[in-house]
């Protein structure tokens, strides 16, 4: 999916524009209590094409005194990945020096990247006309808009969309071999009769020629792409060093698409683990605020290319709001997640004052601690949790094992027959969903792997009620596990 970046100095209306463009997209975990997030990334659908939008506003602090060129450089890092850039200025005020500086930077280093200037706050026809004055900044494409009222937005999107790289043909859902667990289930499966009159789902057990052909072509990928994500100072770089520095590891740096993106691949137990953008993992923000914002942007970027995310938490600090924020992105992205509680060594050693633990309390109990983490990250209830010490290289072998496990689990496929048997077993009375929010599910089938995605054929074409979806996901998990992976549902009405 192409990425469009919005940038500009503070208060020109970037967030208003961002929110207007992405308002139809409600985030899945937005309902979870305790999660507030900067909405940095979103999706926009326009003229039948969906594009990802990034608001780089978060990168530049509000205080103008804090805008040295270094910060623009950081903004540029975030922009490196964008296919097109919209710079926003305030049409009602004089150009400020950060406007000129940012424009210069974009025009100078934007290369062939399509650049657009949106002159915001053009709420009247007169203001619309005045937008022409802003051509002095040097942009060829200048569009007056009112992010608040919507004027000019359609024209802007038309132009931006037209400048994007051509669309690729949608990929076929990924296929994979059934794992042992699924096969066992299939053995037990007698193949339930579909409902009379129901549209027949593709039955994978009849061994149609297509199915047989596909089985031969299927293979389990031997490489797993891993993103190490988390707040600053939780120990991401230290963990990366521990993972790539083990004795059996052969590290091969592979040049990525961006200037400084380098992956490192570790061969271990017949499996390749590719750690995404290791330069990015080691990159540090100059100030605390910058580091924190950058860590969110980097985490998002790394998730994009990954199969599995290691969400690193600092054991001493516990789960902070930013951890939940980053974890929320991981959950939404459909990647498998492993929660890594790092610096566990500090929780079990005498603290500096001679007390038993770092804070003078009793030595931490893993069970109690895990419960606290689980309570704070409820939406990641499917993610395995590990206690490690990256600095002392303790628990690293277990990390590799879990990555391999969740990578396998996310590609697992349940046959339609087994699925329908499963559906028969569910006691829908147990779902705590109001009667009028219930839908009748005639049958369901797994449409894709990575993440496992199920299509529900129902009597009504409605969005699944949140708790209904949760109930179903739990049922699917009880029977088929899918350890570490989110489970997605799509609803298709038969009518």
232 binds ligand GDP (CB under 6 A): yes
Structure tokens at 199: 């549209």
CB of 354 to ligand GDP, least distance (A): 17
357 binds ligand GDP (CB under 6 A): no
Report 124-143 residues binding ligand GDP (CB under 6 A): none
CB of 410 to ligand GDP, least distance (A): 25
CB of 343 to ligand GDP, least distance (A): 4
412 binds ligand GDP (CB under 6 A): no
Q: Is 119:144 a contact under the CB 8 Å cutoff? A: yes
Looking at 86-94, 232-240, 322-330, 432-440, which segment touches ligand GDP (CB under 6 A)? Answer: 232-240
Under rule CB under 6 A, how many of the chain's residues touch ligand GDP?
15
Q: Tokens 């990250």 label which residue?
A: 377
346 binds ligand GDP (CB under 6 A): yes
Whether residue 270 is annotated as binding a ligand: the answer is: no
| Distance, first Cα to last Cα, the chain | 31
What dihedral angle (degrees, nearest 10) is formed by the CA atoms of 224, 229, 234, 235?
40
**What pairs with residue 120 in β-bridges?**
90
Among 28, 127, 289, 391, binds ligand GDP (CB under 6 A): 391
Instruction: Kindly tell me which of 229 and 491 has the beta carbon lying closer to ligand GDP.
Output: 229
Instruction: Kindly tell me which of 234 and 385 has the beta carbon lying closer to ligand GDP.
Output: 234
Whether residue 8 is annotated as binding a ligand: the answer is: yes
345 binds ligand GDP (CB under 6 A): yes
CB atoms inside a 10 Å sphere around CB 449: 19
CB of 315 to ligand GDP, least distance (A): 8
**Residue closest to ligand GDP (Cβ):** 235
Report 192-231 residues binding ligand GDP (CB under 6 A): 230
CB of 230 to ligand GDP, least distance (A): 6
Looking at 86-94, 206-214, 340-348, 453-461, which segment touches ligand GDP (CB under 6 A)? Answer: 340-348
CB of 308 to ligand GDP, least distance (A): 18
238 binds ligand GDP (CB under 6 A): yes
389 binds ligand GDP (CB under 6 A): yes
What is the gyration radius of the CA atoms in the chain, in angstroms? 25
Looking at 109-117, 236-244, 247-255, 432-440, which segment touches ligand GDP (CB under 6 A)? Answer: 236-244
CB of 415 to ligand GDP, least distance (A): 42
271 binds ligand GDP (CB under 6 A): no
Q: Is 311:336 a contact under the CB 8 Å cutoff? A: no
Instruction: Kindly tell me which of 238 and 420 has the beta carbon lying closer to ligand GDP.
Output: 238
373 binds ligand GDP (CB under 6 A): no
Whether residue 57 is annotated as binding a ligand: the answer is: yes
- Residues annotated within a binding site for GTP: 8-15, 55-59, 120-123, 230-237, 277-281, 342-345
Binding residues, by number, are 8-15, 55-59, 120-123, 230-237, 277-281, 342-345
Chain contacts with ligand GDP (rule: CB under 6 A): 230, 232-238, 342-343, 345-346, 389-391
């Amino acid at each position: 999916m192409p990425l469009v970046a919005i940038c500009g100095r503070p208060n020109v209306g970037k967030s208003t524009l961002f929110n207007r463009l992405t308002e139809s997209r409600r985030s899945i975990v937005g309902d979870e209590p305790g999660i507030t997030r900067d909405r940095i990334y979103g999706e926009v659908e326009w003229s039948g094409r969906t594009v990802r939008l990034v608001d780089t506003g978060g990168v530049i602090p509000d205080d103008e005194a804090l805008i040295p060129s270094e910060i623009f450089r950081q903004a540029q890092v975030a922009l490196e990945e964008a296919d097109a850039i919209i710079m926003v200025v305030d049409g009602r005020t004089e150009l400020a020096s950060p406007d000129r500086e940012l424009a210069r930077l974009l025009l100078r280093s934007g290369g062939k990247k399509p650049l657009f200037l949106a002159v915001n706050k053009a709420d009247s026809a007169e203001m619309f006309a005045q937008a022409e004055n802003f051509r002095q900044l040097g942009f060829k494409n200048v569009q007056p808009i009112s992010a608040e009222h919507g004027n000019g937005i359609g024209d802007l999107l038309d132009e931006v969309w037209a400048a994007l790289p051509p669309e690729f043909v949608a990929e076929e859902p990924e296929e994979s071999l059934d794992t042992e667990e699924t096969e066992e289930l299939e053995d037990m499966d007698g193949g339930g009769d579909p409902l009379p009159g129901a549209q027949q789902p593709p039955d994978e057990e009849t061994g149609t020629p297509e199915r047989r052909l596909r089985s031969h072509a299927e293979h389990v990928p031997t490489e797993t792409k891993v993103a190490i994500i988390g707040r600053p100072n939780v120990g991401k770089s230290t963990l990366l060093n521990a993972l790539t520095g083990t004795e059996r590891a052969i590290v091969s740096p592979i040049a990525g698409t961006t200037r400084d993106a380098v992956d490192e691949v570790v061969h271990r137990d017949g499996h390749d683990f590719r750690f995404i953008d290791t330069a990015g993992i080691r990159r540090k923000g100059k100030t605390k605020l910058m580091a924190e914002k950058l860590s969110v942007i980097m985490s998002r970027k790394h998730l994009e290319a990954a199969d599995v995310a290691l969400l690193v938490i600092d054991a001493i600090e516990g789960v902070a709001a930013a951890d939940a924020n980053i974890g929320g992105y991981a959950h939404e992205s459909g990647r498998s997640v492993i929660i890594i509680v790092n610096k566990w060594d500090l929780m079990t050693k005498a603290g500096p004052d001679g007390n038993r633990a770092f804070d003078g309390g009793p030595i931490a109990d893993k069970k109690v601690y895990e419960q606290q983490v689980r309570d704070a990250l409820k939406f990641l209830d499917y993610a395995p949790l590990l206690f490690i010490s990256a600095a002392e290289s303790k628990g690293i072998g277990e990390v590799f094992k879990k990555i391999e496990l969740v990578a396998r689990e996310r590609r697992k496929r349940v046959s339609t027959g087994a699925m329908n048997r499963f559906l028969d077993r569910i006691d829908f009375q147990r779902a705590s969903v109001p009667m009028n929010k219930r839908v009748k599910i005639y049958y369901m089938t797994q449409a894709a792997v990575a993440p496992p995605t199920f299509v529900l054929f129902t009597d009504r074409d409605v969005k699944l009620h949140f708790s209904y979806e949760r109930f179903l996901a739990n049922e699917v998990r009880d029977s088929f596990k899918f350890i570490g992976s989110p489970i997605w549902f799509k609803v298709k009405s038969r009518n």
